Amino acid sequence: MSLFKSLAVKPWERKGIIGGLRPEGAFDTSPEKVGLSYFLVIASVVFSLFMVSYVIRMELPDWQPLSEPGQLWANTLLLILSSVLFQWTRNIVSSDKPRNLMTAFFGAGLFAILFIAGQLMTWGNLQEGGFYLTSNPANAFYYLLTGLHAVHLLGGLWVWSKGAIRLLSGAEAKDLRLSVELCTLYWHFLLVVWLILFAFLANT
């Protein structure tokens, strides 16, 4: 039943059991995925508001645009690889005969760690070039946005590391299925956020 139809029913007229075992209107998925989606909306709002603030602050006269480091292209590739490997992991745990699970799962985490290391290197290079946090609001936003994105990825890596420990302790693919599905969704989300941020930073 559509949202509008649901809201238009007259509950005082409808008696009896409605919706069978599953409550009518509930999503046909696990509560964990609904919970993660809820969190992703919050994270999207946070990033959107930072970007709106960026645009407003950009209009003020002291703004000096920052030339984004070329290394960001390489970092972006690392994050794409991480996301692709997570998708592969997801396919593996969903299949009947899981193969290469270790390679895909640990590869996904490794590329994410390399992405964060790459982002830290851009910070170091910018510092060396005299582009400090306080010297211009454009710099401050660069550190803030990339840092915030990295913090989100670190949160994901914490969940990944719990899965890694379980995998090393001999857990089977089906035991990791939910965890991998959630991580994959989260990684794809962070990739999209990063692509938008990168395009945004590069074009302003």
Partner 1 sequence: MAYVPLADQDKEMEMHHPHSWVEKYVWSQDHKVIAIQYGSIAVFTGIIGLTLSVLFRLQLGFPESVDFIDPNFYYQAVTMHGMIMVVYFLTALFLGGFGNYMIPLMCGARDMVFPFMNMLSVWTFLLSVIILMASFFVGGGPTGAGWTLYPPQTAMEGTPGHDMGIVLMLISLAVFIVATTMGGLNYAVTVLQYRCRGLTMMRLPLTVWGIFVATILALFAFPALLVAAIMMLFDTLLGTSFFMPAVIEAGAPLDHNGGSPLLFQHLFWFFGHPEVYIVALPAFGLVSDVLSTHARKNIFGYRMMVWAIIAIGGLSFIVWAHHMYVSGMHPYFGFFFATTTLIIAVPTALKVYNWVLTLWEGDIRLNAPMYFAIGFIFTFIHGGLTGLFLGNVVIDLPLSDTYFVIAHFHMVMGVSPILVLFAAIYHWYPLMSGRMFHEGLAKAHFWLTFLGAYAIYLPMHYLGFLGVPRRYYQIGATDFIPASAQDLNASITIAAIFVAVAQLLFFVNIIWSLKYGKKAEKNPWGSASLEWQTPDLPPKHGNWGDELPTVYRWAYDYSVPGAHEDFIPQNTPETVEPTVDEEHFDPDQDASKADI
Site string for partner 1, 33-52 (x = CB under 8 A): -xx--xx-xx--xx--xx--
156 binds partner 1 (CB under 8 A): no
Residues 120-149 that bind partner 1 (CB under 8 A): 133-134, 137, 140, 144, 148
Give me Rg for the CA atoms of the chain.
22
* Nearest-angstrom CA–CA distance, 107 and 158: 15
169 binds partner 1 (CB under 8 A): no
14 binds partner 1 (CB under 8 A): yes
CA nearest to 185, candidates 24, 3, 30 = 30
65 binds partner 1 (CB under 8 A): no
CA nearest to 194, candidates 93, 62, 44 = 44
110 binds partner 1 (CB under 8 A): no
Contact call for residues 69 and 201 (beta carbons, < 8 A): no
Q: Which is nearer to partner 1, 22 or 97 (CB)?
A: 22
Contact call for residues 167 and 176 (beta carbons, < 8 A): yes
Considering the complex, what minimum distance in angstroms separates the CB of residue 52 from partner 1?
9
What is the enclosing helix (H) or strand (E) of 38? helix 31-58
Residue numbers of the site for partner 1 (CB under 8 A)? 6-31, 34-35, 38-39, 41-42, 45-46, 49-50, 53, 56-57, 60-63, 133-134, 137, 140, 144, 148
